[in-house]
Amino acid sequence: MSLIRESLHLRVPFRDIEIATKNFTTIIGKGGYGFVYKGDLLLSNKLTSVAVKRLENGLGQGLKEFLTEIQMLSHYKHPNLVSLLGYCEEGHEKILIYEYAERGSLDRYLSKANSMFPLPWKQRINVCIDAARGLDYLHNHVAENQRVIHRDIKSANILLDHNWKAMIADLGLSKLGRANEIDTYLVTNACGTQGYCDPVYIETGILTKESDIYSFGVVLFEVLCGRLGFMKVNNESRFLAPLARSCYEKGTLNDIIDLDLKNQVDSNSLNTVSEIAYQCLKNDRKQRPSMSLVVEKLVRALELQELAEASESQVLQKKNQRNNNENIWPYNQKKEKASGFTLVDLEMDLHCVGCARKVIKEICNFKGVESVGVMDLELKKLTVSSTLDPVYLRQKVEKKTKKKVNRIFPSPKTTSDGRRWHIPTQMGKKVNRGYLWCSCV
């Protein structure tokens, strides 16, 4: 076979694979092709974690898929396509060796029954962007006048590495076709996975790149809804695509959106993803978007989410600043005087009368302070009348007294002239109502 001869540099001895997989005991999955095993294989003098897919029967459709994967993945390379690291063809053994995707396939994180934890919205968008870029490469960038149509796009065929980078996998059913022509299609026996396959392709047998786009639309709705495209419930087949399309048209999509997303997703970001997903499922293939447009819309959805989160973060930051009394004052936070005298309460750790006297004595030395007093020792409040900017006053008090000001706020005892509680008396002398007070000017 000329194809095999062209790829001899990828050939791996069967015995090495047996050792790497501990005699094929490290099963991590199973598909229509056969079992998949995890292994550690010495490649280019480096021990590498790999996924090993072993063909159960070397004849028939399995052999064709084996050869197709070698053809596609040995020629076409992209960060969002799974890498073929090697293969084995010895006797009846037909084995493919891929880079190991540590986090498995996307479908594991969408099904409520299987998901270990729900993926956050931004992570879901990033996964979709990666997968869309991989598919866009196959459709539009493999060669000048060629394209690859995958034919089996689904969440189970989107693999995730340890950094959550998504990669398109399982190209065994893919077809190589012409590109950049007015009418580009292939007539084949329809194949793929139930619930993901383009209905037009099933009905007519005519395959175009838009068939992949339909399947990708199903994946987008899987991500939005947190459920798989096809499920068996009480021996009844349930398909997500017609349900999602119907809900979108009726304006009731919110009824089937994943509950885990509702408190974290920005509405504009959600609408952008749902709109492009709906367009992918259009019955008229001409109305379906290109994968390059899908990538563009998903990137925009991510930007909208990040913008919303940044705005929310700013609001929270301002709220926290207000709670810390950093921004409640109608003055610039500079070392400048406020107009007239301002009466403010400082909440500090004042343990006793002696402690309060020491703090009052220090504050009395501040230029611009008119009077200082302990208005309520039990509440640990100290009241200052001054011409200083309150924020600057707080900073200076903490620096000079070495005590933290827990809060600073306008004194509720302030009247229109701001000086009702200015009670001139000597430092430390008890006056009416039991207050300690000091007049500084």
Residue ranges of the annotated binding site are 53
Which residue in 152, 198, 212, 266 is the catalytic one? Answer: 152
Distance of CA 195 to the CA centre of its chain: 26
Closest CA to 53 of 154, 172, 149, 162: 172
What end-to-end distance do the CA atoms of the chain give, in Å? 102
> Residue 106 carries which DSSP code?
G
Tokens standing for residue 394: 């707080």
For residue 10, the SS3 value is: helix
Tokens standing for residue 169: 């996998």
C-alpha span between 13 and 20 (Å, rounded):
11
H/E segment holding residue 299? helix 291-323
**Beta-ladder partners of 168:** 81, 158
H/E segment holding residue 388? strand 381-388
CB-based burial, 202-241: b 16+ in 10 Å, e otherwise: eeeeebbbbbbbbbbbbbbbbbbbbbbbbeeeeeeeeebb
Residues within the annotated binding site for ATP?
Answer: 53
Burial degree of 164 (CB within 10 A; 0-12, 13-18, 19+): middle
> Are β-strands 166-168 and 206-207 bridged in parallel, bridged antiparallel, or unpaired?
unpaired
- Tell me, yes or no, if 389 is annotated catalytic: no
**Which residues does the annotation mark as catalytic?**
152
